[in-house]
Amino acid sequence: MDSIKVVGGSALNGVIPISGAKNAALPLMIASLLTDETLTLSNVPRLRDVALLTQILQNHGVDYSVNGKRNGQDDLEGQTLHLTAREIVDTTAPYELVSKMRASFWVVGPLLARMREARVSLPGGCAIGTRPVDFFIDGLKALGADIEIEAGYVVVKAPKGLIGNRVVFPKVSVGATHTIMMAATLAEGETEIVNAACEPEVVDLANCLKAMGAQIEGAGTPTIRIQGVKRLHGAHHAVVADRIETGTYAMAVAMTGGDVLLQGARADLLESAIEILRQTGADITETPEGLRVYRNGNGIQPVDITTAPFPGFPTDLQAQFMALMTRAGGRSCITETIFENRFMHVQELARLGAQIHIDGRTAIVDGVNTLRGAPVMATDLRASVSLVIAGLAAEGETHVSRVYHLDRGFERLEDKLTRCGAQIERISG
């Protein structure tokens, strides 16, 4: 099993190209099930989750091809996928596939809308907390679907097609918003989604669906309206820049010091986190090429945060921010409101010398002058990168094991950091 070795103490200087967002690419790929024509997606990150979802879509009959590397293309540039679901050959998404990636459950919406039936495995547990599919099921029922749970599978049918309706989510859910929005594009009449997720990835999916012929208004607000159409066609769409990757590298620069251009990054996707980082002492400015992040020898200031749905501070940056706060000059409080088990990185940061106390859903972090390298173990995707960030600023060597988590969400992390002067390498094992 691979691990990553980090030798701390080097400031980061240079350019890091920001990849397309994984959290946008996955629902965009699933949207290919809605049409028998080709959906072309550019700026798709090369990640384990993307490769796995490709296998899952192939199981349903989706043909795919990948553009070869062009002359002069940077190794870190995104890839272009061509996805064609000319014929859906199987409306079942089996447990052995869905259990590997929860987002694959979202195929239930497009399959039901186009084929009027689907049989999709319940996704099972999750390391960072329970993520029930009740919102998905209730939303599809509101659109007229008959639903039963049979032997761990959600069996959905709408023999006469889906009918537009008002869908009210009791709590914001990005996945449910993706799924109901995709299903509603082919429903008869108008669907109104109330308390919809406002994340940029939802907007990106809506923009792609509109390019395919869907009629959608209000994406990016709590109320989305979809007027169903008879069919969708192929389109070309570029995946939006990854705001979580942007925030992660910005925090790495704030942690180590240095001067880095995050090429292709967009400030409008991450305004709350950028404002918080500025309060810690980092200088962040917009440029025509992206975002420049700079921190000189000044100390890191402690700042309290509470995670929240967009436009609040992202839960997917909470672990990385906690790593930054371990070196702050004082106490900070980090409150997690989205997932109940998302503090599993705390015990690993403590191995590096961090001083962190958990009180319910709040982590109280007392900054220390020095972190020291140690063997640590990744517990989930975002926790794993927080350990890398801490290792970049620690004295000596940090060895991060179980880095397959990293490969799910960060494209060639070691290469990007190495280009900016970090001492980091992957060790095959």
Residues 59-64 have a mean pLDDT of 97
Q: Which alpha helices (DSSP H) does 326-420 contain, by range? A: 346-351, 381-393, 404-409, 413-419
Tens-place pLDDT, residues 110-137: 999 999 999 999 886 444 344 568 999 9
Helix (DSSP H) and strand (DSSP E) numbers for the chain: 14, 24
Per-residue pLDDT at 353: 98
Dump pLDDT digits (tens) for 395-420. Answer: 999 999 988 888 888 999 999 999 99
Say what the pLDDT of residue 78 is. 86
Structure tokens given for 7: 């030798």
Element (H, E) at 48: helix 48-60
Question: What proportion of the chain, given as a percentage, has pLDDT over 70?
Answer: 96
Task: Tell me the β-bridge partners of 146.
Answer: 157
Pairing of strands 38-44, 235-238: parallel
How many other C-beta atoms are found inside a 10 Å radius of the C-beta of residue 395?
14
Q: What local confidence, expressed as pLDDT, does residue 292 receive?
A: 98
338 is annotated as contributing to ligand binding:
yes
Model pLDDT, residue 69: 58
Q: How far is CA 316 from the centre of its chain?
A: 7
Domains of the chain with CATH codes:
3-18+241-427 (3.65.10.10), 22-238 (3.65.10.10)
Residue 195 labeled ligand binder: no
Mean pLDDT (whole number) for 240-245:
97
**Residue 22 annotated as part of some ligand binding site:** yes
- Catalytic residue numbers read 126
- Is 174 annotated as contributing to ligand binding? yes
Query: Can you give the pTM of this predicted structure?
Result: 0.94
pLDDT tier at 101 (50, 70, 90 boundaries)? confident
Contact 291, 262 (CB under 8 A): yes
316 is in an annotated binding site: yes
Mean of pLDDT values over 355-359: 97
